[in-house]
Amino acid sequence: MPGLTLGDVVPDLELDSTHGKIRIHDFVGDDYAVIFSHPADFTPVCTTELAAMAGYAGEFAKRGVKLLGFSCDDVESHKEWIKDIEAYKPGNRVGFPIVADPDREAIRQLNMVDPVAKDSDGAELPSRALHIVGPDKKVKLSFLFPASTGRNMVEVLRAVDALLTAAKHSVATPVNWTPGERVVIPPGVSDEEAKEKFPQGFDTADLPSHKCYLRFTKVD
């Protein structure tokens, strides 16, 4: 059975977390949320990832984006682990909830199970999965990284900016885009529509095919 993927509504699970009981849909509310999992508490790569995420929490909050971490260990373990994370990067406070999922039901439903990694009892562990969910509770973007490879939280923030820009202006963002750079007019928009939609104007790349599909414009 295929797992949760782009466009799917995330299951509305009720979960224990370091901030008490959380229902995923209520947690997301009318905002975007980054829902991300870690293989286990008290592990090195996960500690660096969570410390980095805590450091960027203010940037996500400025954009109205919520953070929700997952690890299978229990809430008491998470609370102890948070002390290590905050000591590792002083000033980076883990102010967002970390969910406990000891029976692995949530990570299965959220397509966050690592196909290889197992704990010492042979139980499943989460991969480094990350879903960016919209106010409609649908998955807008996902990363799936194995336990061996820490994620780039700058890229997560960049992806959030790209999604928010695309949603706000009905545009797309080209390779390596960062905020302030030119965006792309999607193929479904005719030149006539583009002139109306983007009164600031747009540039069309002159290509050997003479097909006018690569159009750039600026948005705020």
Which sequence positions are flagged as catalytic?
46
DSSP state of 84: H
CA separation for the pair 191, 215 (Å, rounded) = 9
Q: Check residue 46 for interaction with ligand BEZ (CB under 6 A).
A: yes
Provide the minimum distance between the beta carbon of 44 and ligand BEZ in the complex, in angstroms, as a whole number.
4
In the set 4, 27, 39, 131, which binds ligand BEZ (CB under 6 A)?
A: 39
Residue in the structure block whose two tokens are 């990570």: 107
CB closer to ligand BEZ out of 46 and 94: 46
Q: Check residue 214 for interaction with ligand BEZ (CB under 6 A).
A: no
Write out 93-151 in H/E/C secondary structure.
CCCCCEEECCCCHHHHHCCCEEEEEECCCCCEEECEEEEEECCCCEEEEEEEECCCCCC
CB closer to ligand BEZ out of 20 and 44: 44
Provide the minimum distance between the beta carbon of 202 and ligand BEZ in the complex, in angstroms, as a whole number.
45
Q: Check residue 40 for interaction with ligand BEZ (CB under 6 A).
A: yes
Provide the minimum distance between the beta carbon of 60 and ligand BEZ in the complex, in angstroms, as a whole number.
21
Which residues between 134 and 153 bind ligand BEZ (CB under 6 A)?
Answer: 147-148
Cβ–Cβ < 8 Å for 41, 77: yes
DSSP state of 178: -
Provide the minimum distance between the beta carbon of 74 and ligand BEZ in the complex, in angstroms, as a whole number.
17
CB closer to ligand BEZ out of 40 and 75: 40
Cβ–Cβ < 8 Å for 99, 17: yes
Residue in the structure block whose two tokens are 């984006």: 65
* Residue ranges in contact with ligand BEZ by CB under 6 A: 39-40, 43-46, 117, 147-148
